[in-house]
Structure 1
Amino acid sequence: MELPFLRYAALFIVSFLIVRILISIRNRSKLPPGPTALPVIGHLHLLSPFMHQTFQKLSSIHGPLMYLRLGSVDCVVVSNPELAKELLKYHELTFSTRHLTAAIEHLTYNSSFAFAPYGPYWKFIKKLTTFELLGNRTLGQTLPVRTKELHHFISILLDKSKSGETVSLTQELLKLTNNVISQMMLGIRCSGTVDQADGFRTLVREVNEIFGEFNVSDIIWFFKNIDVQGFRKRFLDIHNRYDSLLEKIMRDREELRKNKKLNDDDVKDFLDIMLDIFEDEHSEVQLTRNHIKALILDFLTAATDTTAIAVEWTLAELINNPEVLRKAQQELDQVLGKSSWYKNPTLLVSPTFKP
């Protein structure tokens, strides 16, 4: 009885593997050329820490349009400006959807704007972001926030300089961008003495880190439901902490809105705008609480680290190029004056000042 069962099981496994191989060969014929792949891992063994150098070396052998298989994930690498333009400009909709990892899908409630496919939801949120969160009225209303945070940032640098202390620009720039974005989004500072703010800042950093980490379960199909690296346990823990914290922030805001309605002249942060749409039964797109949480996470993770890193690299380039730094200082002195920018940092963040 046991022997026939083993035969049927072996026959099933062999048949399954043959079907997968045939499907793979059939699909492979439609893809561009590429190096020979190994079983299971594909071309993962060819990748190095310097990915751009790896792609350049491989493209010189296999051409500007090249196929790579990373585990079970088929990828096409474009190494030519003309082909990149062809794909991204003339076939934008075909390639506009981003690949979702398990961490991104779960942490963003499968409602991420950044990873949403092109459609009604994506178009609605883009319009909402353009005209509400980043509209002239909202930016004008939140100008005092940016002014205050910039003044605080400059004061820290001056105080440290006077006392001869070193400054971690990386940390201070992260605090600056975190505070500005979190106040525009939620009306709270993410770098302060309040436990809620500090907890939120820590969570945003952890989310950014786990989004960029390699998870073998995302690319090798038979590991999909096996938590080999303990990755799922980590992002479930982050998700639970983020959900609890943001749910409390949302409930507190809803309570305030019930007790005191905002006037038209009151400054509304992004959470207020989203709650207005959430409560509007006739909205173009019906938002859920999970949509709001996902959108807030999208903007916090996308706008904090990237902004801080861009400013840090700009400062590093200026320090390494004294002549360029001197010209930039001269332009600031000519346009703003030698001391007015510090006495009135509004000049640096005003929409009218375009360097």
Structure 2
Amino acid sequence: MAGTTYPVRVAAAVTLPVNADVEVTSDNDADFPGDPTAAYMMAGTRTGGFKHRVHLKFDTPNLTGSTVTDAKLSMNTIDAQSCGAALANGIQVARLTGAWDPGNVYWANKPAFTTEDASTNFKGVSMDCATWPDSMEWNVTGIAQDWAAGAADHGLVLKSPGEANVNNYRVFTSAENTDEFGSPPKLTLITSGPASVPTVSAPAISPAQTVNGATVTTSLTPQLAAIVADTAGGSLTGEFEVEHDPAAAGQGSGQIWTGASHAVTSGGQATVGVPAGKLADGWKIRWRARAANAAASTTSAWSDWQTATVDVPNPTVGAFQVTPSQMVDGGTVATSLTPALRATVTDPAAQPLRAEFEVEHDPPATGQGTGQIWTAALDNVASGT
């Protein structure tokens, strides 16, 4: 579609109910901690130097690797020192950096916080307002992005900025206030999955061995492999390209073959075999790989070129037989004028072979002629037969 930037990432919005909410005041001590069952919670400062903080913890999903595009904290507000859209000082929401126990939190052991990405709302809601009760909202996108970037999620704290001011407070309904208002704290997150960024690593060819610092493959149909991964996860394929080594002479030039593996899960090894008939013994080749995410229409950069020499061991022949025959005084005696000659031929590359037979007069023998008597050949003999 025109104007669309790929890959497309679909945003997902989720509104989370609070898992724990508790008010802690400067009066709370170990013998009288905050009450996590209270129906109302106050944040701010009051005349006389009293300080109040509201601690909130939400069951946030695993945000690691996600992109948080928006996050909003909503609190049902029923009272303040005054009514208005922009009162002095306001109430600040900040990210907690320490663990806390909702059932045993008091002023001396309250969790630490950071003002990094903190947000302040200056609205005041009281019964004198035209709309009562009303909601106060804070943009906490930066805080949620901190969680997605790896910061520990210990929750949020609502407080008066600096807490040096007096008579600056807001009263909120808690999650436990189900009969009267039924409007608990809420955290709404809008996230999208990470962008698709395929990567390729650990290219390998097999069978192979290192000879004088160079890679040598002993097969005409070697297997090429590489690890393919993507930050977006999912399934990927490995794409492979084989060329003549530009530094080699007398064997051709340019591309020899390209192919792709079956799909594997991100982080898995993609493998593919070079088909028969593409390579020749003695060639010097180079090859490379890249990762492809078909669903996201993305690919990685190509890996560096990998070089190899194709050096296939020579075929072998053994298990000679003459049929019919028998052993006489340690020598083989054929008992037919038309014996069958047999041998097992083996190709290390498992390729079909041409088996050639030759019969001669035995040079030590006398009175029977010399030299070649007969030759024959069989084509397309399977290796190992």
Q: Quick check: which one's strand share is greater? A: 2
Q: TM-score, normalised by structure 1?
A: 0.17
Q: Quick check: which one's helix share is greater? A: 1
Q: TM-score, normalised by structure 2?
A: 0.16
Q: Relative contact order (C-alpha < 8 Å, sep 6+): which is higher?
A: 1
Bigger radius of gyration among the two: 2
